[in-house]
Amino acid sequence: MVRAFACHAKGREFESRQPRHFLLLIRRSFVGQANKILEYMNINKLFSSKLTWPPFGNKRLLPPDDAKTVFHLFDAIDVFVLKESGIGQRVAAAKKPVDSDVLRREIRNYYYNNPVMVDQFIQSTEGADLTDEQKQLLISWKNPLRGKFLCIKYYAKYAIVTPMDDEGASRRYYAILGLSNDFDVMIPDKPPYLITTALLPYKDVIIWDGVIGHHGIRFGRSIANTLTKAYQRFKQDGRLILRLS
C-alpha cells in the first residue's frame, strides 16, 4: 500500500507519496547542498504533518499501483527541474525557508511553461530507467489543462470540475480522479468551491496533478443550485468529458 500525506498550508495543498523517495532524489541531485535545501524547504516539518492512509477502495481515486506510478514520475521530474532550472540553487542560497507547497507549484509551472524540460528529462541519465509507457505518459503531460476550476459536485466515481472562465454553451465539464487522497480530504469545503490546479490525462481517465490552490471562496445555495442544474443539462446531452486526448 502507498503511504501518502496531505499537506494543508495557507489555503494551498499538495499530495504526495512516501517522503523517503523524494528525499533520496534530492540528496542524489544536490550533493553538498541537499541538507540546506531540505532545511529551507521545511521538509521535516512538512513530512511530520498529518498523514493519511488513503481508502483505495474509493472509486474517486486512482488504483494504488497507478497512483504510485504518477508520484514516482512527478518526484523524479520535479527534482530534475529543481536542479536544472536553477530553482534549487536559489533555494540553497536563500536566507530564510521557502514554503514547500509554493515551491512545488513553481517547479510544476516551470516545466508546464517550458515543456522542453520533459524531453530533456527523458533523455537525461535520471530518465534512463523510464519505460516506454512512462515516457509516453510524461510526454502527454507537456500541455496540461491548467487554471482555475469550479468543483461542482462529487459522485461515487469522480468529481466534476469546470474551468472558471468557461461561459454558457461553451462551458466544459470534466470528470476527474484524485491521486491518493479523496477530494474531501484535500479540500475542507463542500462543493461548489474554487481551486487552481492542472488536469492531466492518465490512461482512460483524467487526474489532477496533486498540487492544488484552494481559494476558500464559498458559494451560496442559489449559485450552487444554478451550477448543478447547468451541469445536469450538460450531462443529459452526453457531453461530460471523461478523458483528455
Q: Judge whether 214 and 195 are in contact, CB under 8 Å.
A: yes
Helix (H, G, I), strand (E, B) or coil at 69: helix
165 grid coordinates: 472562465
Place of cell 470528470: 175
Which of 81, 211, 225, 62 minimizes the C-alpha distance to 146?
A: 211
Give this prediction's pTM.
0.79
Query: Is the pLDDT assigned to residue 1 strictly greater than 70?
Result: no
Helices (H) and strands (E) counted in the chain, each on its own, are 10, 9
- In total, the chain counts a number of residues equal to 245
Neighbours of 21 (CB within 10 A): 16
244: Cα separation from own chain's centroid: 16
Q: Are 199 and 174 in contact (CB under 8 A)?
A: yes
State the cell numbers at 218: 464559498
The residue whose grid cell reads 504533518 is 49
Amino acid at 181: N
Please tell me which of 70-74, 165-169, 185-189, 197-201 the model is most confident about, judged by mean pLDDT: 197-201
Domains in the chain with CATH codes: 4-140 (no CATH), 145-236 (2.40.50)
* CB of 195 closer than 8 Å to CB of 215: yes
**Rounded Cα gap, residues 156 and 5, in angstroms:** 22
pLDDT digits (tens, 9 = 90+) for 183-241: 888 888 888 889 999 999 999 999 999 888 888 777 777 877 888 788 888 777 777 89
Q: Looking at residue 55, what is its pLDDT?
A: 41
Task: Provide the mean pLDDT of the chain.
Answer: 78
